[in-house]
């Protein structure tokens, strides 16, 4: 008797499941609620609970929460990730500042004085200058300043010289250094950087506070500057501020008697 009852109940359950399945197949476009009502009318001994419909927003959150992916995250994870990213960016910015400031310390930037200047015989856009930077012999430097600065404005002028670049042949003239200048974004206006008049030719320039002069490392050799692309790392961080003072990031470009400046270009690129 017990065996018959169990078998009968199992048969009812199987029939119910089959009937429910057949109802679903025959009405693929019906709602689940209507399917339940029809099913219960045929099999009243079964009860089926139907959850209340959730809002699209809740349903979306439920679906998203069921997947673990780097593309989705919970609110707490998003906040944690944001804090970690901000912290990482701050750390990265700090390290980047240290890197370009350290690199700038390897450049041999000196006060110079132009002894004489003339136009290059083979290049209309170039001047050739003899520049005293405190060495036994003046440096010969070629500069593409013909379009921007009259020749007579160069004679005897105090300038800033990047002196540990590898020499370059400029239309038959060996150029051993670079005069540093500020320029606007369109490179239509160009002005030479210059030190205070009291600065002595040959004095080495540094960046930062007055106390940092004594902590300057020895300059790199021209080969090292070229190999490590030191100038390329430093140059994008060189600009003038609103007072026309030459800056490396937030660090003032200094001589022992004052800051390096340009005549009038504010917030200008330096190269």
3-state secondary structure of 130: strand
Query: Does residue 29 lie in a domain region?
Result: yes
Average confidence (pLDDT) over 128-132: 98
Q: How many CA atoms lie less than 13 Å away from 31 in the CB half-sphere?
A: 5
What was the pLDDT predicted at 93?
52
Domain count, the chain: 2
Q: Are 132 and 250 within one domain?
A: yes
Q: Are 153 and 55 within one domain?
A: no
Q: Are 14 and 147 within one domain?
A: no
Q: What is the pLDDT of residues 133-155, one digit of tens each?
A: 999 999 999 999 999 999 999 99
Q: Are 250 and 136 within one domain?
A: yes
Q: Are 22 and 119 within one domain?
A: no
The whole-model pTM stands at 0.66
Among 67-71, 90-94, 225-229, the least confident range: 67-71
Q: The domain containing residue 241 runs over which residues?
A: 104-270
| Residues 135 and 176 sit within 8 Å (Cβ to Cβ) | no
Q: What is the pLDDT of residues 2-31, one digit of tens each?
A: 444 444 444 444 444 444 444 444 444 445
Q: Which of 43, 65, 87 is the last residue of a domain?
A: 65
Query: Does residue 94 lie in a domain region?
Result: no
Q: Are 166 and 265 within one domain?
A: yes
Q: Are 137 and 261 within one domain?
A: yes
Q: Are 232 and 122 within one domain?
A: yes
Query: Does residue 168 lie in a domain region?
Result: yes
Q: Which of 17, 42, 65 is the last residue of a domain?
A: 65
245 pLDDT higher than 70: yes
Q: Are 151 and 229 within one domain?
A: yes
Q: Are 248 and 134 within one domain?
A: yes
Alpha-carbon gap, residue 136 to 229, rounded angstroms: 28
Query: Does residue 78 lie in a domain region?
Result: no
Average confidence (pLDDT) over 42-53: 51
Q: Are 172 and 54 within one domain?
A: no
Starting at the edge strand that comes first in sequence, how are the strands of the sheet with 127-132 ordered? 139-143, 127-132, 109-119, 158-162, 178-179
Average confidence (pLDDT) over 73-87: 37
3-state secondary structure of 112: strand
Q: Are 38 and 126 within one domain?
A: no
Higher pLDDT, 227 or 15: 227
């Amino acid at each position: 008797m017990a065996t018959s009852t169990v078998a009968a109940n199992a048969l009812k359950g199987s029939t119910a499941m089959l009937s429910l399945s057949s109802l679903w197949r025959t009405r693929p476009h019906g709602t689940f609620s209507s399917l339940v009502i029809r099913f219960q009318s045929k099999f009243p001994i079964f009860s089926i609970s139907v959850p209340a419909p959730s809002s699209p927003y809740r349903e979306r959150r439920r679906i998203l929460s069921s997947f673990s992916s780097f593309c989705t995250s919970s609110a707490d994870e998003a906040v944690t990730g944001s804090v970690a990213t901000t912290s990482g960016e701050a750390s990265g910015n700090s390290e980047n500042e240290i890197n370009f400031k350290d690199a700038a310390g390897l450049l041999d930037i000196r006060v110079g004085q132009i002894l004489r200047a003339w136009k290059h015989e083979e290049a209309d856009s170039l001047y050739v200058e003899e520049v005293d930077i405190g060495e036994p012999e003046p440096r010969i430097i070629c500069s593409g300043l013909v379009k921007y600065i009259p020749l007579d404005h160069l004679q005897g002028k105090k300038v800033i010289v990047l002196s540990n670049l590898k020499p370059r042949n400029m239309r038959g003239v060996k150029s051993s250094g670079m005069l540093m200048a500020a320029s606007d974004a369109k490179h239509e206006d160009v002005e030479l950087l210059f030190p205070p008049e009291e600065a002595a030719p040959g004095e080495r320039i540094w960046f930062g506070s007055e106390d940092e002069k004594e902590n300057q490392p020895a300059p790199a050799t021209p080969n090292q500057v070229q190999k490590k692309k030191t100038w390329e790392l430093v140059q994008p961080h060189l600009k003038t501020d609103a007072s026309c003072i030459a800056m490396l990031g937030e660090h003032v470009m200094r001589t022992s008697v004052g800051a390096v400046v340009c005549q009038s270009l504010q917030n200008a690129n330096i190269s």
